Structure formats: structure tokens, C-alpha cells
């Protein structure tokens, strides 16, 4: 799955999608798709990622208490 890094605008290939959808995981491992060579995996905070369309990640992927009343 590809997401966009808000700070740099680079596309990030998420290595472990399971970490992305886990609301207890605060970061994911991914590779930048910038340049022509395959980049080494880096850790990205999920709060800095969004869909390439600009839409934010679902709250159930970010907040472990998403079912609680606000």
C-alpha cells in the first residue's frame, strides 16, 4: 500500500500493512519512492501519513479508543 508523507510529499510504500491498521502501533515501516533506486526501510509516524488523494487515515487506524465516546 502506498501513502503520502505529509512533510516531504514523497510516496511511501508501507512494508507491514498490519502495523498500519493496528491502532496500538504509532509508526509503520516503509520505503520512500523517490529517485530511481530502492530505498532502505524507514520508520514513519502514522500521524505524518495520509492517502495519496490527501485524505487522512481513518481514526480506527490511529486511535485505540476510537469506539469510546468523546
Per-residue pLDDT reduced to its tens digit, 29-68: 999 998 788 889 999 999 999 999 999 999 999 998 888 8
User: pTM of this prediction?
Assistant: 0.85
pLDDT confidence of residue 68: 82
Total domains in the fold of the chain? 1
Owning domain of residue 23: 2-62
55 in any annotated domain: yes
Domain assignment of residue 67, yes or no:
no
- Kindly state whether residue 69 falls inside one of the protein's structural domains: no
DSSP string, the chain: -EEEETTT--EEEES-HHHHH-TT--EEEEEEE-SSSPPPPEEEEGGGEE-TTSPBPPHHHH-TTTTS--
With bands split at pLDDT 50, 70 and 90, how would you rate the model's confidence at 70? low
Q: In whole angstroms, how far apart are CA 46 and each of 3, 20, 34, 37?
A: 10, 7, 19, 24
Whether 13 shows a pLDDT value over 70: the answer reads yes
Model pLDDT, residue 37? 86
Amino acid at each position: 500500500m502506498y501513502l503520502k508523507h505529509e512533510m516531504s510529499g514523497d510516496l511511501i510504500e508501507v512494508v507491514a500493512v498490519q502495523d498500519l491498521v493496528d491502532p496500538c502501533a504509532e509508526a509503520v515501516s516503509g520505503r520512500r519512492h523517490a529517485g530511481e533506486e530502492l530505498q532502505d526501510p524507514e520508520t514513519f509516524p502514522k500521524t505524518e501519513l495520509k492517502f495519496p488523494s490527501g485524505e487522512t487515515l481513518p481514526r480506527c487506524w490511529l486511535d485505540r479508543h476510537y469506539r469510546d465516546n468523546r
